[in-house]
Structure 1
Amino acid sequence: MAKDSSKVWSAFSLVSALGSAAVAKKALDGGWKAATGKQPPANPADPDVDFWEAVAWAAASGTFVALAKMFAQRRAAGYYLKSTGELPPGLRKDV
């Protein structure tokens, strides 16, 4: 049972992280365009992209996507807890 629950949690966690990252990126792209009037940099490492624009994009996108993934995985862990009665593997505290 522990092996199966670990696989279920891995899949569930992965799907929630990928889904939230995609939604966050779409929202962030729209917010960037609304705030700056330009498309976000496709590749901040490109020398043609202004340095401070690249820094701002990297900071904003990294933070926003990481927070979205964390919130989604916390929600997934809560759902897993309600469904199984225990925390997912890797989140269980040692007794």
Structure 2
Amino acid sequence: MADRGDLGWRVMAGAAAFAGGFVAKKAIAFAWKKSTGKEPPTNPESPEVELKEAIGWVVVMGIGMELARLLATRAAAKQWAKGTGELPSHLKTEV
């Protein structure tokens, strides 16, 4: 069973990743529209979407969302360490 610290960390990290993903999706869609002049594909799996556009969207979105999750989790870990005095156990590096 998870202890309170572990559960607290999971909630905090999940909320940070969710918020980061939400902001990233909006920012990526905005950048896509600015750079291509069209709305991002709503369903890249559809044969009606050009293949290169679908691949481009999936690559940009995948990298962008993972980067947002990484940055949000790292920021949450710093805040967690400030509040508790240590990083969550699975984020500690061995010396």
TM-score normalised by L of structure 2: 0.93
Q: Any residues of structure 2 matched to 1:11-90 within 5 Å, and which?
A: 11-90=11-90
* Runs of 4 or more above 6 Å deviation: none
Q: Aligned Cα RMSD in Å?
A: 1.4
Q: Tell me how far apart the structure 1 counterparts of residues 23 and 94 of structure 2 sit (CA, whole Å).
A: 34
Q: Tell me how far apart the structure 1 counterparts of residues 41 and 94 of structure 2 sit (CA, whole Å).
A: 45
| Number of residues of Structure 1 aligned to a counterpart in Structure 2 | 94
Unaligned runs of 5+ in 1: none
Deviation of 1:90 after TM superposition, in Å, equals: 1.8
Q: How much identity, in percent, do the aligned residues show?
A: 39
Deviation of 1:89 after TM superposition, in Å, equals: 3.3
Q: Tell me how far apart the structure 2 counterparts of residues 7 and 58 of structure 1 sit (CA, whole Å).
A: 32
Name the amino acid aligned to 1:25.
Answer: K
Task: Decide whether the 8 Å contact of 1:9 with 1:89 is kept in 2.
Answer: no
Task: Decide whether the 8 Å contact of 1:41 with 1:57 is kept in 2.
Answer: yes
